[in-house]
């Protein structure tokens, strides 16, 4: 995989308005792994795209009543079949981490890249998702020198007590074994 102009090649791109400039555009030093499915446990629909683009209809599903007005995004989504959708160029700040802290440094959105895996905290992720995630991380490591394998974490680690994703079913060892 290659990155040109902060966009992942071989990835669909949907422009999310839920982003802004980073305080320091050269400080990209953390990768945060998340999971998402809308409604929870349902896959392969347009609801994630709609949420990240402020187009989710609160009447489409009871679960959406509490989330359709929130302004969130991630840099990238990896679907169950391994397909990637990028919503925010990597040099911009996506709104994925919320109130967060990594190793004592707050505001993780300022310096992190957020990657969503289509799934739930309770479900297993697919083999192709792990392979694609490893490929994406390898490309990010090549393009952003402040990133390293030691600076990959879960949403649950930067927002403990508030977030639980990617969940206990995420196999960290499998991911790190796939990284070169």
Q: Which residue numbers are catalytic? A: 116
Q: Where are the alpha helices (DSSP H) in the chain?
A: 47-52, 127-143, 155-158, 172-178
112-137 as b/e: b if 16+ CB within 10 A: bbbbbbbbbbebebbeebbebbbbbb
CA 88, 16, 23, 97 torsion: positive or negative?
A: negative
Tokens, residue 71: 């302004």
Strand partners, 76: 86, 115
In whole angstroms, give the CA distance from residue 135 to residue 110. 23
């Amino acid at each position: 995989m290659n990155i040109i102009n902060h966009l992942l090649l071989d990835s669909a791109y949907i422009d999310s308005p839920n982003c802004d400039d980073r305080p320091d555009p050269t400080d990209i030093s953390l990768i945060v792994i998340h999971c998402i499915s809308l409604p929870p446990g349902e896959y392969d629909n347009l609801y994630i795209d709609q949420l990240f683009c402020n187009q989710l209809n609160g009447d489409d599903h009871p679960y959406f009543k509490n989330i359709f007005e929130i302004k969130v995004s991630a840099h990238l989504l990896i679907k169950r079949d391994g397909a990637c959708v990028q919503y925010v160029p990597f040099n911009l700040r996506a709104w994925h981490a919320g109130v967060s802290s990594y190793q004592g440094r707050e505001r993780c959105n300022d310096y992190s890249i957020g990657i969503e895996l289509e799934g739930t905290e309770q479900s297993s992720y697919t083999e192709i998702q792990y392979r694609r995630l490893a490929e994406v991380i390898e490309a990010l490591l090549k393009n952003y020198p402040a990133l390293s394998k030691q600076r990959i974490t879960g949403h649950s680690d930067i927002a403990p007590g508030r977030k639980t994703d990617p969940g206990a079913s995420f196999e960290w060892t499998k991911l790190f074994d796939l990284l070169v």
